[in-house]
Structure 1
Amino acid sequence: MDAKSVLNVAGTDYTFYSLPQAADQLGDIQKLPKSLKVLLENLLRHQDGDTVTREDLQAIVDWQKDGHADREIAYRPARVLMQDFTGVPGVVDLAAMRAAVSELGDDPEKINPLSPVDLVIDHSVMVDRYANDEAFKQNVDIEMQRNHERYAFLRWGQQAFDNFSVVPPGTGICHQVNLEYLGRTVWSHEDKGEHFAYPDTLVGTDSHTTMINGLGVLGWGVGGIEAEAAMLGQPVSMLIPEVVGFKLTGKLREGITATDLVLTVTEMLRQHGVVGKFVEFYGDGLADLPLADRATIANMAPEYGATCGFFPADAETLKYMRQSGRSDDQVELVEAYTKAQGLWREAGDEPIFTATLALDMGDVESSLAGPKRPQDRVALSQIKSHFGDLLDLSVAPAGGDAGRLEGEGGAPAPAAPGEVEVELDGETFTLSHGAVVIAAITSCTNTSNPSVMMAAGLLAKKAVEKGLMRQPWVKSSLAPGSKVVTDYLEAAGLTPYLNKLGFNLVGYGCTTCIGNSGPLLDPIENAIRKGDLTVASVLSGNRNFEGRVHPAVKTNWLASPPLVVAYALAGSMRVDLTSESLGRDSDGQPVYLKDIWPSQAEIAEAVEQVNTEMFRKEYGAVFDGDEAWQSIEVAKGQIYDWPDSTYIQHPPFFEGMGREPDQVEDVHKASVLAMLGDSVTTDHISPAGSIKPESPAGRYLKDNGVEPKDFNSYGSRRGNHEVMMRGTFANVRIRNEMVPGVEGGETRHIPSGEQMAIYDAAMRYAEDQTPLVVVAGKEYGTGSSRDWAAKGTRLLGVRAVIAESFERIHRSNLVGMGVLPLQFPEGTNRETLKLTGEETFTITGLAELHAGDEVNTTITYPDGQETTVAMRCRIDTGNELAYFRHGGILHYVLRRMIGAA
């Protein structure tokens, strides 16, 4: 189809593939959702009659008939974004692929990213030091010491691979760097003297890649495995999605934040059900919704379950691009291109959607979400009662002063059940159920948003002026998503007040939101364990799953940055911030939240401090890094010389690989490694957080001479499969129904009847050459795009995961690692089949498998009885089937790149 056209912008001619011209041949697309127009342009540009056909284009146009199209398409994003936790194993895999190609007698330099890849090191800094002026420097120094081997490897990758850039540590969070600097809305490149323009699109190795949707950029999170394939030139295979329209009208009321809005949107969309769907925001309320607020909403797409949360480009997009330092030529190109292609949001737009929801932003109320799922919104006024009801506390709440010091120099009341007396820095206080032990302004979600960050600073200022201080048991921290944030807080004169309350800068990274909260003080953690206290963290993040923030903290609450500060002052979730005091001022008078909450006018005045020069200054040398980064010695050569390291190991994925794949074998008499319930997240499956000395991973590190103080986190050791496979299914909060009443990564080894770590059992089964399956409930694999949740599953010997339903990314990753995802038939599950985990499973017909087939699975019970169930194969597309037959997506890509597939 000939739809090439030329657009002249600022004196430059750009070749582009015209959607209006395509519509003349395919049919009217005026009412097509703008997110699908981006997909349509992508197909139009890559139409080759093979991977993309005219029928694919027509299917998107015909989607408008009923908001649905059951067709697989090959989507090619313009670029790939990585963070270091997922990026390091990605580069390890690329290095291993080069080694495998060399062993097959081919040219290793055939393995090279074909699309631009940006890796931002943002997941490794931990909150080891806090509440002092040197915390940032101390944490960065510790980070560089801990991660030297990983960073040396990434520096090798930067010089060894083409199209691969690394943003050094201490710069910012990948999604905020993407929003403020990398994202263009309209991408362009020059080829043989011709300039091409097309929508900026990407996939990222973190589920919150969707944050860039706020800038009119279509992007979402995929597993590291799928991202590696995309960077190596493979299309992302996907079904044309349903698109749910979310209409926004009105404005937020005084005192309501963007965080309150996003928690409301998350709750509504999760209740509606948008897993595997696009969400597109529309409505005239967008005209007054700042881009930072849009990005906050888009960031939470994984929490409401959608593939993306797309905001079309409009005047607000251009305003933000100018403010954040994009060139005038780029801004002009965005406006001209999006208008020419029908991608520009016009007032009154009413596209056709699969379904719609609507929200008057004037109805939003102040909220938090918790205690363990981001979609479980609780109104601020209900937090106290909700906490009590939730836990059925045996100790009655003691009012607004529960668990706090009686007064300066006053002795605390005698400890009651559920209370533990603590001495810290010469002070004695009582720690009780509901105590807030972590208060963290952290995560890309909110630290990208000047309005909520300024609100936190203003609230801190008013609190300090009243004489309030944070409670002594609260670990407080400030981890912005970019250096621009500290620039504007400083310019507004708010930094000293945040510091006074202990919200000193601790690093530019994800920190608490991903489990890098660092240790609690020993007296605090000892008290929690002694009293078996149910304590809380309050964080301005997007994830609060069990065991994620800190293993000793059972409840975790998402909140706006100003509410994080407020809870640090109150020190307890058993204080009703809407009616009870936060503490007393210097005159002994009670101070309420309403007394120190900044007005919208005050926030707006502070936000005016944000200016273009801040962005240009901080991003002027974004890839350079500091002296410590630049001084790292870089290995040479195109094939990595694997050192003796407990951080980076040569993975075994390509061992014994031939140029042609073997036939897929059926699974015979597989044992159950674990039987899990509903909403098992990738945080439960994938190694994350701290490494316990007594765990299999801890034992491995000690056997290799690593002291527990130097264990670092699982995330930092994702380049070592020996650590990661030992940490798979090892989360402290995972519940395996094969060992009732036990939390943590334990199972029963059925032949011996012994209870042991899941890794240890898997190795016993491997010795006996017994294949394994995992059985689970609904929403298996919810959460971040953690590739090790799939890689670890594969390395433990699991051939199939059988669940009631799967979350999108993890299902795709399982296929990408050659693990078969099977879905119980409707109305059937582990309970109706009366499974205990003592059964064996035989899965047949795999050599003749087709996408979406029913697969006969014979279950043999301990008494010898058998039943055969027709499970639904959740290999959804032809491309995925090819990956599975090759033993995984990387094997398929490798063979393709050397001409063997």
Structure 2
Amino acid sequence: MKETVVSANSFDARSTLQVGDESYEIFRLDKVEGAARLPYSLKVLLENLLRTEDGANITADHIRALGGWDSQAQPSQEIQFTPARVIMQDFTGVPCVVDLATMREAVKELGGDPAKINPLAPAELVIDHSVIADKFGTNEAFAQNVELEYGRNRERYQFLRWGQTAFDEFKVVPPGTGIVHQVNIEHLARTVMVRNGQAYPDTLVGTDSHTTMVNGLGVLGWGVGGIEAEAAMLGQPVSMLIPRVVGFKLTGELTPGTTATDLVLTITEMLRKHGVVGKFVEFYGEGVAATSLANRATIGNMSPEFGSTAAIFPIDDETIKYLKLTGRSEQQLALVEAYAKEQGLWLDPKAEPDFSEKLELDLSTVVPSIAGPKRPQDRIVLAEAAQQFAKDVLNYVEVPVAQQAAASASPVDEASDESFPASDAPAYGSQENGAGAPQHAGGTGAAVPSNPVTVTAPDGSTYEIDHGAVTVAAITSCTNTSNPYVMVAAALVAKKAVEKGLTRKPWVKTTLAPGSKVVTDYFEKAGLTPYLDKVGFNLVGYGCTTCIGNSGPLPEEVSKAVNDNDLAVTSVLSGNRNFEGRINPDVKMNYLASPPLVVAYALAGSMKVDITREALGTDQDGNPVFLKDIWPSEAEVNDVVANAIGEDMFAKSYSDVFAGDAQWQALPIPTGNTFEWDPQSTYVRKPPYFEGMTMETTPVSDISGARVLAKLGDSVTTDHISPAGAIKADTPAGKYLTEHGVERRDFNSYGSRRGNHEVMIRGTFANIRLRNQIAPGTEGGYTRDFTQEDGPVSFIYDASQNYQAAGIPLVVLAGKEYGSGSSRDWAAKGTALLGVKAVIAESYERIHRSNLIGMGVLPLQFPEGQSAESLGLTGEETFSISGVTELNEGTTPRTVKVTTDTGVEFDAVVRIDTPGEADYYRNGGIMQYVLRSLIRK
């Protein structure tokens, strides 16, 4: 059981709430002056402080500071937030459990009790990131992919099954069940938590940035690094500054023909432009009541894409309706409503809480959209997509100057926000426009670069592909597969396409990977599965698949044609991420779209086709078929949703969700409270974080004689830093596996090997699209090794080993938004294990900056308005950083002095933002801090 913190109760807030026959202890918010005017999200934080007030870490002054929050002030007040639970997925969760197992041994070696290393808050892990869409387009694809998944991941799964038995309060949702965030909203989320007789808001942190999906249910939570999650599991509060809160007012309603995906891409674009990094976003206004829970969850999911810490909706009738649909008990429903109303957490559509900043969106102005070709915030109005492709493709292909000039002749306007006609279907296509010439975009007359290649399929048939060919069309990701309206719309597009005689183009890899079994249940009940299958969208697995880079290989003949001819081919997916190199190594340009548009692009087969005006194909009589001909009306979608989805489906799917199938239950597992490490394992190895650790901390020191491992530009994401995707044979990671007897076919992905630090270090900074400016002309994990004469180009890992052997510390130089993307602990762990002591960037994404500190790496920022370029830094210099030792005196310096051997000198801002982060850094990292704290208890 979790240790119950006895609140100091300075505000006399302890009270009781009677709901039916049950009585609960609660902490009343109205006892704190100023609470009523606070945004919903800050009320949740205020309750958290009231309940966990201990007079030391959490004091009456902290509570008063939150009650008296100044919405216009810059964040400066630190508070300690204690999440009610922790949620994980298997890529990021396996290292968590590896670290916990390692901590047990370290405690033992330092003379403590290993059993102290045990989750004190409920921790739930959903295995969803391991299934790869190898097989597709057949009814056997799902079973075959599950079989391959178990074959590749047996060691990891055995380890997780051991963890389920060895640790209290730790549960695992086995493979083939669903995606963590969809399982969270459909089953795991409590909305109001009950524990040890207390009722309080459900809050959480998760080891995946899209944890924010649960914000749609009124649950405050966000993604953290695995190292922060481990600390939370072990009872450590999350140190944070009271954030600014951006109020986002919704008015009106979506017009027919627009989807939740169109809405969320519009919101993502707006909030990225506004700037919400490090802030909470909270939705309010009359439009919230008109926004379905499914749509709220879709918006919450995309919070990392617009950069906010959280993106939350208050509790209201829609929340209760969804909790009822998904099988929560009557007592739970009554408690959620009673608690929310008692505490002022129930939505008042007319209220205008005190916000730091405000934005507004009239939902009726949202138009059909996609986003790409490499960032979620780069929204494109669907009607302008082919034109925009013609412009963007020039960044990915080399074309003759004359052709390039022609392609650039018609400028593409910025995506406008003009509404589509408010009819029962958008004005997609017309007979007058005809099919259009395939080498032109949007009827503008602007030539698109072309390099047509004839491909011979295994059955002997031939077809032609060119730049812009859609080679991956994936209905994937909890972002959209949790939303029955867009999923049913996709299935109805497939149905109407089949009835017209259309099917996917032969070069398109089509996959369907829902976030829960409920989706396939309602497809079956509505009789829509056969149509999805006929178009090629057969079930490939219940997991993230394409959205996290597990798209599997393209058909061999397509891959060869693409690579031999350097074609800029595309993917279209209903996911939340489309960064370069993420989706598939053969695919250069990636577009986010709603599930029905994913189906449409599979039919069209090319981004050159303007699917709003040009035909997708021809029917049985040779007549052109336009998108408008197969787009379902809102009434059709609503009818299927109303008749095909019921409470019984959720009850059945989640009745025994932790048990797993026969394959899971048959896995042999070791016993005991410390893990028996297998020295031959290439999946799970004991990491070196605690080697040589003592109970006393080593004073932090200044950095001298450091070399630059990587000099990077703007918007370098954790996808560029963290190992992900396939492991290539000629890389350090591939060579390591080969040396350990692993056949090429069994390499698996980096994600599946996250429990082996040896593989992960070798894959850090090794993304195929990484451009390290020290090694110009290279792409991928390369740098220059200045331990050797003239600094030859080498793999980043190999250079790092040489630098560490020579005792030379390393730094990384970076531009703006360094570390945006998923909350990947390995982006920080790998950085630390490569010997990097400091990162100097123009700006950081919140999670990665925090994770660097958690691994003992110092995050520094260039002075305002300055950069590596403006300071004339090439990356060939030797760096020294002085002033760091001030941390040993218990204070954090505002700046430190950076000097180089070439005479460049500047004061870098120290981005250790809270006293708690300073404690972690002084201890060498968050895990060392927690370990010492637990032993001293």
Q: Determine if contact 1:682/1:784 at 8 Å carries over to the other structure.
A: yes
CA shift, 1:66, in A, is: 3.0
1:423 alignment partner in structure 2: 456
CA shift, 1:67, in A, is: 5.6
CA shift, 1:189, in A, is: 1.4
CA shift, 1:65, in A, is: 5.6
CA shift, 1:854, in A, is: 3.2
CA shift, 1:660, in A, is: 1.1
Are 1:3 and 2:13 matched, yes or no?
Answer: yes
1:695 alignment partner in structure 2: 731
Q: Determine if contact 1:546/1:554 at 8 Å carries over to the other structure.
A: yes
CA shift, 1:853, in A, is: 2.4
1:661 alignment partner in structure 2: 697
Matches within 5 A, 1:37-76: 37-64=43-70, 66=72, 68-76=74-82
**Deviations 1:285-343, CA, capped at 9 Å, x for gaps:** 11121100000000000000000000000000000000110001000000000000000
Q: TM-score, normalised by structure 2?
A: 0.93
CA shift, 1:833, in A, is: 1.1
Letter matched to residue 345 of structure 1: L
Letter matched to residue 17 of structure 2: L
CA shift, 1:416, in A, is: 9.9
2:912 alignment partner in structure 1: 875
**Structure 1 residues 401 and 84, CA gap change in structure 2 (3 angstroms):** farther
- Partners of 2:582 and 2:629 lie apart in 1 by 34
1:642 alignment partner in structure 2: 677
CA shift, 1:841, in A, is: 1.1
1:102 alignment partner in structure 2: 108
- Partners of 1:61 and 1:427 lie apart in 2 by 70
Are 1:442 and 2:476 matched, yes or no?
Answer: yes
Letter matched to residue 597 of structure 1: W
Are 1:159 and 2:156 matched, yes or no?
Answer: no
SS in 2 for 1:359: strand
Are 1:384 and 2:386 matched, yes or no?
Answer: yes
- Partners of 1:522 and 1:728 lie apart in 2 by 28
Corresponding residue to 1:176 among 182, 203, 220: 182
Letter matched to residue 762 of structure 1: S
- Partners of 2:449 and 2:711 lie apart in 1 by 39
2:221 alignment partner in structure 1: 219
Q: Determine if contact 1:436/1:571 at 8 Å carries over to the other structure.
A: yes
2:27 alignment partner in structure 1: 17
Are 1:890 and 2:927 matched, yes or no?
Answer: yes
2:420 alignment partner in structure 1: none
CA shift, 1:630, in A, is: 0.2
SS in 2 for 1:30: helix
Are 1:602 and 2:636 matched, yes or no?
Answer: yes
Q: Determine if contact 2:449/2:467 at 8 Å carries over to the other structure.
A: no
1:493 alignment partner in structure 2: 527
SS in 2 for 1:519: coil
SS in 2 for 1:289: coil
CA shift, 1:447, in A, is: 0.2
2:133 alignment partner in structure 1: 127
- Partners of 2:512 and 2:603 lie apart in 1 by 15
Matches within 5 A, 1:672-821: 672-752=708-788, 753-821=791-859
Are 1:287 and 2:289 matched, yes or no?
Answer: yes
**Structure 1 residues 68 and 843, CA gap change in structure 2 (3 angstroms):** closer
Q: Determine if contact 1:387/1:573 at 8 Å carries over to the other structure.
A: yes
CA shift, 1:403, in A, is: 8.2
**Deviations 1:664-697, CA, capped at 9 Å, x for gaps:** 1221110000000000000000000000100000
Moved beyond 6 Å, runs of 4+? 395-399
SS in 2 for 1:810: helix
Q: Determine if contact 1:79/1:231 at 8 Å carries over to the other structure.
A: yes
- Partners of 1:355 and 1:679 lie apart in 2 by 25
**Structure 1 residues 401 and 634, CA gap change in structure 2 (3 angstroms):** farther
**Structure 1 residues 646 and 218, CA gap change in structure 2 (3 angstroms):** same
Q: Determine if contact 1:852/1:874 at 8 Å carries over to the other structure.
A: no
1:409 alignment partner in structure 2: none
Letter matched to residue 913 of structure 2: D
Q: Determine if contact 1:852/1:875 at 8 Å carries over to the other structure.
A: yes
2:412 alignment partner in structure 1: none
- Partners of 2:137 and 2:450 lie apart in 1 by 31
Q: Determine if contact 2:787/2:802 at 8 Å carries over to the other structure.
A: no
2:419 alignment partner in structure 1: none
SS in 2 for 1:532: coil
Q: Determine if contact 1:184/1:200 at 8 Å carries over to the other structure.
A: yes
CA shift, 1:420, in A, is: 1.2
**Structure 1 residues 130 and 766, CA gap change in structure 2 (3 angstroms):** same
**Deviations 1:711-746, CA, capped at 9 Å, x for gaps:** 000000000000000000000000001112221111
- Partners of 1:869 and 1:725 lie apart in 2 by 31
CA shift, 1:497, in A, is: 0.3
Corresponding residue to 1:514 among 548, 565, 584: 548
- Partners of 1:593 and 1:223 lie apart in 2 by 42
- Partners of 1:580 and 1:85 lie apart in 2 by 42
Letter matched to residue 693 of structure 1: A
- Partners of 1:294 and 1:156 lie apart in 2 by 36
CA shift, 1:69, in A, is: 4.6
- Partners of 2:255 and 2:349 lie apart in 1 by 22
Q: TM-score, normalised by structure 1?
A: 0.96
**Deviations 1:79-129, CA, capped at 9 Å, x for gaps:** 000000000000000011011111112211111111000000000000010
1:271 alignment partner in structure 2: 273
Q: Determine if contact 1:843/1:855 at 8 Å carries over to the other structure.
A: no
Letter matched to residue 936 of structure 2: G
Q: Determine if contact 1:292/1:449 at 8 Å carries over to the other structure.
A: yes
Letter matched to residue 647 of structure 2: T
Letter matched to residue 482 of structure 2: S
Structure 1: 5+ residue runs without aligned partners? 405-414
1:859 alignment partner in structure 2: 899
SS in 1 for 2:838: strand
1:534 alignment partner in structure 2: 568
**Deviations 1:584-614, CA, capped at 9 Å, x for gaps:** 0011000000000000000000111110000
1:139 alignment partner in structure 2: 145
Letter matched to residue 342 of structure 2: A
SS in 2 for 1:773: strand
1:584 alignment partner in structure 2: 618
- Partners of 1:317 and 1:337 lie apart in 2 by 13
Letter matched to residue 16 of structure 1: I
436-445 or 95-104: bigger deviation:
95-104
Corresponding residue to 2:239 among 234, 237, 242: 237
2:367 alignment partner in structure 1: 365
Corresponding residue to 1:629 among 655, 660, 664: 664
**Deviations 1:54-88, CA, capped at 9 Å, x for gaps:** 11111112214636552000000000000000000
Corresponding residue to 2:581 among 530, 547, 561: 547
1:411 alignment partner in structure 2: none
Letter matched to residue 419 of structure 1: P
CA shift, 1:852, in A, is: 5.5
SS in 1 for 2:511: strand
CA shift, 1:418, in A, is: 1.5
Equivalences, count:
879
- Partners of 2:815 and 2:886 lie apart in 1 by 27
- Partners of 1:133 and 1:650 lie apart in 2 by 40
CA shift, 1:399, in A, is: 6.9
SS in 2 for 1:126: coil
Q: Determine if contact 1:684/1:729 at 8 Å carries over to the other structure.
A: yes
2:5 alignment partner in structure 1: none
- Partners of 2:90 and 2:915 lie apart in 1 by 31
Are 1:314 and 2:316 matched, yes or no?
Answer: yes
Q: Determine if contact 2:435/2:615 at 8 Å carries over to the other structure.
A: no
SS in 1 for 2:92: helix
**Deviations 1:163-199, CA, capped at 9 Å, x for gaps:** 1000000000000000000011100013xxxx21000
Q: Determine if contact 2:883/2:897 at 8 Å carries over to the other structure.
A: no
Once superposed, what is the RMSD of the aligned Cα atoms? Answer: 1.5
